Structure 1
Amino acid sequence: MTHHHLTEETKPSPAPTRQLTLCFSGTRRGARLARQLTVQQFTEWTGLPYDSDPARAIALVTAELASNAVRHGSLPGRDFRLTLHLLPDRFRVEVTDTRPERLPPPVTPRSTDETSGRGLLLVEAYADRWGRTVREAYTRTVWAEVQLLTTDS
């Protein structure tokens, strides 16, 4: 796995074979709906079952990115945007929020008695690549890519 965490994207991803963009309320309910829709769309586009390893990874990654957008990247009354890309060999999740000045914290191991702060460790563990992109003064996008199943030879 190649992890590009907390860095600007240096090269564009190949053109998606399918793409979907939706806005969700900057609430816990919006984050939950984003995760559910992402897994549903992933299984529909790929034909992989809900209980496949890639679907589980997509669910965890989306839950964390959407939760972070609500918790750390939201301004009152502002939505967050979810964009899904089915690429030839992977699935990309992008969550865009309204706080470009707030960078994700460094990914460091946490004490076992801490009750929060482990989410990006999950993204690090389940995504093959992830990072952030700030293209304008008003938004930032945190993205993650999960490889699709490959056949073993």
Structure 2
Amino acid sequence: YELDELTPTAELLASELVTNAHLYGDGGPYGLRVGERPGGGLRVGVWDANPQIPPPFAGVPVQAPQGERGRGLMLVQACADRYGAYTLQRPGKYLWAECAHPGPYG
């Protein structure tokens, strides 16, 4: 894919999305999908069994957490070029984030 420069960002996005699914996915199964986007870049997505879309992905303003937890999806928002979420037909949701190919000039 020649997407080596996206690897650190894609790894961070995947890690935070999977962690969120593990912690808040209602104990059900969850899964990861990574794919190349048309025109370049990567989309990282995670589905889980909890249909509730978390506030950062639902367009609800969120204050920065003061504790040790709660920063993962804010990191995804800060590092992704695009992100979103939707509920699934079966119980659950799908959160996704994209990192764009930087192009020839970075």
TM-score (ref. length: structure 1): 0.59
1:83 aligns with 2:33: yes
CA contact 2:85–2:93 (8 Å) conserved in 1: yes
1:92 aligns with 2:92: no
Per-residue CA deviations over 1:35-92 (Å, capped at 9, x if unaligned) read xxxxxxxxxxx2343xx3x2111111110000000000132xx321212221122210
CA contact 1:132–1:143 (8 Å) conserved in 2: yes
Query: Which of 20, 43, 55 lines up with 2:7 in the alignment?
Result: 55
CA-based RMSD: 1.8
> In structure 1, what residue type is equivalent to 2:36?
L
CA contact 1:92–1:143 (8 Å) conserved in 2: yes
1:120 aligns with 2:73: yes
Instruction: Give me the identity figure in percent.
Output: 31
Gaps of 5+ in 2: 57-61
Query: Which of 89, 106, 110 lines up with 2:65 in the alignment?
Result: 110
Q: How does 1:136-151 map to 2 (within 5 A)?
A: 136-151=89-104
Gaps of 5+ in 1: 1-45
The count of corresponding residues between Structure 1 and Structure 2 is 100
